[in-house]
Amino acid sequence: MNVLVIEDEKPAARRLTRMLEAIELTVLAQLHSVEEAVAWFKTEEHPDLIFLDIQLSDGLSFEIFDAVTVQSAIIFTTAYDEYALQAFKLNSIDYLLKPIDEDELEAAVSKFKKQRPDLKSSTFNFEDIRKLLGVNPVDREYKKRFTVKIGQHIKMINIDDVMCVYSENKGTYARTSDKRDYLLETTLENLEEELAPDTFFRVSRKYYVNIEAIQDIISYTNSRLQIKLKACEDQEIIVSRERVKDFKLWLS
């Protein structure tokens, strides 16, 4: 079976290629950008199966399918969190969470062999996936304020005044620019769909940060990053290792 690896991190692409060749698959090429992939598909025979990273060096991999028609089965390789992975499940698309495990890779390939005897007939609704992932949104309304209950009163908090949102002791809190914490009637998972992705980023299981609140970014242990936020000096905010790459892309 012929496969294609589309992954912008060359060491990761080489590692995945070695893993695929170890289970006797033929890797036709390693591609690292949207532009490179589009050019390849225009001139080469399409593979049976594509291993596709979402974020490439020059944009989202979905842009490949805006430019060319690709009729191959797809297994996504992704560092997205659990909410985003629902998109793949709902669209009957398999995925491998980075760093890729050898057993999970082999199981995913076996699943495609069993369920899709005619792999090249596979097509996917990428627009639906975009919406479910919350990437490249068009005309979408995001939360402009929180309402919180303080005693017998209801207070409105402008979203621009929120420096970070964090979880603690099974509660979800918004920290504002005046260094006050407000208990929210929601969870971080629910906020995935409500916070504007160009303003807020989930750096870990515990924290969302506002890009306007970032004062400093410091290298931390195990390839992680530490963030210093306005009004959050008492908080140790660490970008988890699996989110560092996406965090850097978000900053730019």
Which of 83, 104, 133 represents a domain boundary (last residue)? Answer: 133
- Cα separation, 202 vs 83, whole angstroms: 12
Specify the number of domains making up the chain.
2
Phi-psi region of 170 (alpha: psi -120 to 50; beta: other; left: phi over 0): left
* pLDDT score at 86: 56
Which of 109, 133, 157 represents a domain boundary (last residue)? Answer: 133
* pLDDT score at 120: 45
More confident residue, 114 or 212: 212
Mean predicted confidence (pLDDT) in 42-46: 90
Q: Are residues 67 and 116 in the same domain?
A: yes
More confident residue, 167 or 83: 167
Measure Cα distances from 240 to 42, 61, 203 in Å: 38, 23, 6
Percent of the chain at pLDDT exceeding 70: 85
Q: Which domain CATH number covers 7? A: 3.40.50.2300
- Cα separation, 230 vs 209, whole angstroms: 10
Which of 92, 113, 133 represents a domain boundary (last residue)? Answer: 133
Q: 139 in a domain, yes or no?
A: no
Q: Are residues 166 and 78 in the same domain?
A: no
Mean predicted confidence (pLDDT) in 197-226: 94
Q: Are residues 206 and 234 in the same domain?
A: yes
- Cα separation, 197 vs 41, whole angstroms: 31
Q: 138 in a domain, yes or no?
A: no
Q: 170 in a domain, yes or no?
A: yes
130: exposed, middle or buried (Cβ count in 10 Å: 0-12, 13-18, 19+): middle
pLDDT tens for each residue of 159-193: 999 999 999 999 999 999 999 999 999 999 888 87
Residue span of the structural domain in which 12 resides: 2-133
Look at residue 12 and tell me whether its pLDDT is greater than 80: yes
For strand 73-78 and strand 49-53, is the pairing parallel, antiparallel, or unpaired? parallel
* pLDDT score at 122: 47
Mean predicted confidence (pLDDT) in 105-129: 69
Highest mean pLDDT among 83-87, 134-138, 142-146, 189-193: 142-146
For the whole prediction, is pTM greater than 0.85? no
Q: pLDDT averaged over the chain? A: 85
Q: Are residues 23 and 124 in the same domain?
A: yes
Mean predicted confidence (pLDDT) in 30-52: 92
